[in-house]
Amino acid sequence: MLKGIDPLLNADLLYALAAMGHGDELVIADSNFPATSVAEGSILVRLEGTDAPQAARAILSVFPLDSFVDAPLHRMEMVGDPDTVPPVQQEVHAAAREAEGGDVTMAGIERFAFYDRARQAFAVVQTGEARPYGCFVLTKGVILD
């Protein structure tokens, strides 16, 4: 155990988060996401015992979002209803706003474009999130303090 570190942040995840640089992207994915095939060539960390908002809160407790891009948080759009933001996405967006202490822009990405972008991510974190569309891309920022 580490003092002050969320216990969800296991050694593999902490390594990935620390190794990432400014502009690198991290995927948080639900349990339906094809994480193994998408993460080929990337770091894959599994957090089966948690949902997407819990994972996001833990990650965002140590992970700065990029303030130099228009949207440091992206969500997978619902097929056939891209403008709807389901509760799981609202909860992760709220976690990002809380972690950053202000507004965070969250943009949508069409499903297959999301998969393509996820293949380029530095790391993929697959959660046990059972709700569909619990998939996100976070862009790492810098610590300015």
Which residues form the catalytic set? Answer: 22, 66, 115
Q: 93 - beta bridge partners?
A: none
- How far apart CA 13 and CA 123 sit, in angstroms, is 9
Q: What single-letter amino acid sits at 94?
A: A
- How far apart CA 16 and CA 43 sit, in angstroms, is 7
Distance from CA of residue 140 to its chain's centroid?
10
